[in-house]
């Protein structure tokens, strides 16, 4: 049976990057288990345990699991019903000098949980620069459009003007919150380390003949080899499943941001104010040849929705753990941890691609602004009349009547907004007719939008991105490859 005859997870077959798919691959998982066994043996030997040099040499030579070994491990697992012991067996066949000391003193979670913590860390390390790149690209877009007036919307009804760049800063600000959340989750990660079956380190205390210092050193050495600055002092058989919940909460919050941004772009595309990139040979609809559907943003919403719901699985699994550990966490974690990272990765590929080529249509934006601006200008007109000594309440009543008349023309008959023409024909407004053009200038309605965009970028964005800029990890000159 070929891969085409079995179900393929679309996160793996369609959407995610090669590096993220490899991180959660069987080869990397089981090769990481072997690396942990090597580190345990090296640390034990360093602390005086009788482990032959040849054992460590053979283990290192066979650290990366080969294709034929998967079959060996699978056959052993059928007999033993235990995946870790199946891989201990398969590794021992390749490193016979080490067969007696592989997994010495450890419990299954020495491999599985420490490996998962490595995957959480490395997964976040893959996501963070990609998120920083998206923020950088959207910031360029925001600065380029910081002074372009557009309709603001409250309740999805036209409200006071904002600018295209200022609105993009709302997205950037949320993404920066996600960046901070993911950085904090990454920095909070600690290693499970070498703790034994229920976290007491009793087996290692026996191996080292009651020497507490050597047990502590063993834990510290393996933790350092794994690249962690510290390990949990207190653990059960597993590292706290609250860690998974914490990481997935941060990822799921990012998923909500993705859906929020995607929906905004889809709405703006329906107004024809803004479009995501659209390739010259791209087909929008199999039937309607004219369609330019926002498929990237729609997919972003779809993946973001999946991602933001995965945190419920992690928190439920944490809550359901009994005492030192129960195995009902196993099957579900095999799904939701990779799915969360692959979904986040796929979402970032889409965000990167969208941010690399968003198209703005100023003429359409201007037309939509002009259709609503007469209503929005009424406050400016009232203020100008008051300066001429005319009653504010009187001006308000005159404008109220004319606004409703003009609104009826728009809503009932589909005509253009003629409020300004009505004002020009009304004697009451004669004192300010010479100022109408200035009072109607769209740029006078955007307040401090351009200044806010500049201040936000200079004071907050550049600070948040500084370490990624210094590390050269911001890929702002290229668009992410968009997968099928």
Query: What ranges make up the beta strands (E) of 267-388?
Result: 274-275, 359-360
Bridge partners for 154 per DSSP:
157
Closest of 64, 38, 36, 63 to residue 51, by C-alpha? 38
Structure tokens at 165: 């760049």
Asked if 171 contacts 264 with a C-beta cutoff of 8 angstroms, the reply is: yes
Residues 6+ apart with CB under 8 A from 102: 37, 41, 59, 88, 91, 92, 95
Structure tokens at 433: 């007719």
Residue-wise DSSP of 259-286? HHHHHHHHHHHHTTSEE----TT--S-S
Asked if 281 contacts 340 with a C-beta cutoff of 8 angstroms, the reply is: no
Distances (CA, A) of 211 to 39, 202, 206: 20, 11, 8
Category of 220 on φ-ψ map: left (φ > 0), alpha (ψ -120 to 50) or beta: alpha
Residues 6+ apart with CB under 8 A from 433: 423, 424
Distances (CA, A) of 386 to 381, 382, 392, 393, 445: 9, 6, 6, 9, 19
Residue-wise DSSP of 92-130? HHH-GGGTTTTTTT--HHHHHHHHHHHHHHHHHHHHHHH
> Catalytic residues, which ones?
155, 285
- Alpha-carbon span 159 to 153, nearest angstrom: 5
């Amino acid at each position: 049976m070929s891969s085409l005859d079995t179900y393929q997870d679309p996160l793996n077959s369609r959407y995610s990057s090669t590096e993220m798919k490899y991180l959660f691959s069987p080869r990397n998982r089981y090769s990481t288990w072997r690396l942990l066994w090597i580190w345990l043996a090296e640390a034990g030997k360093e602390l005086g345990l009788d482990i032959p040099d040849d054992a460590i040499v053979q283990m290192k030579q066979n650290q990366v699991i080969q294709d034929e070994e998967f079959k060996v491990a699978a056959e052993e697992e059928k007999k033993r019903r235990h995946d870790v012991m199946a891989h201990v067996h398969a590794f021992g066949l390749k490193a016979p000098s080490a067969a007696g000391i592989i997994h010495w003193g450890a419990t299954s979670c020495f491999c599985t949980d420490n490996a998962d913590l490595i995957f959480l860390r490395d997964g976040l390390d893959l996501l963070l620069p990609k998120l920083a790149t998206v923020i950088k690209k959207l910031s360029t877009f925001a600065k380029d459009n910081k002074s372009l007036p557009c309709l603001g919307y409250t309740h999805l009804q036209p409200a006071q003007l904002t600018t295209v760049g200022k609105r993009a800063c709302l997205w950037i600000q949320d993404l920066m919150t996600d960046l901070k959340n993911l950085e904090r989750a990454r920095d909070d990660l600690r290693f499970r380390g070498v703790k034994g079956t229920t976290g007491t380190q009793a087996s290692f205390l026996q191996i080292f003949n009651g020497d507490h210092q050597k047990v502590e050193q063993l834990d510290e050495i393996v933790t350092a080899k794994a690249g962690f600055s510290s390990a949990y002092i207190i653990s059960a058989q597993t590292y706290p499943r609250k860690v998974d919940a914490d990481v997935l909460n941060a990822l799921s919050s990012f998923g909500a941001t993705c859906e929020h941004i995607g929906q905004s772009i889809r709405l703006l595309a329906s107004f024809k104010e803004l479009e995501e990139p659209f390739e010259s040979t791209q087909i929008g609809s199999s039937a309607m040849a004219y369609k330019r559907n926002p498929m990237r943003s729609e997919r972003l919403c779809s993946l973001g929705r999946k991602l933001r719901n995965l945190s419920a699985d992690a928190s439920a699994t944490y809550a359901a753990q009994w005492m030192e550990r129960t195995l009902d966490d196993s099957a579900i974690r095999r799904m939701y941890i990779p799915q969360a990272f692959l979904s986040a990765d796929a979402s970032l590929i889409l965000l990167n691609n969208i941010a690399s080529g968003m198209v703005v249509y100023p003429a359409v934006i201007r037309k939509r602004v002009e259709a609503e601006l007469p209503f929005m200008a009424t406050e400016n007109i009232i203020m100008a009349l008051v300066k001429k000594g005319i009653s504010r309440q009187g001006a308000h009543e005159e404008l109220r009547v004319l606004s409703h008349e003009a609104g009826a023309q728009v809503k009932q008959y589909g005509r253009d907004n003629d409020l300004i023409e009505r004002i020009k024909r009304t004697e009451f407004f004669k004192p300010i007719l010479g100022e109408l053009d200035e009072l109607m200038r769209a740029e006078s309605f955007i307040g401090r939008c351009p200044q806010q965009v500049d201040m936000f970028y200079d004071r907050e964005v550049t600070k948040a991105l500084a370490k990624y800029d210094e590390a050269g990890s911001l890929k702002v000159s290229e668009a992410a490859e968009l997968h099928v």
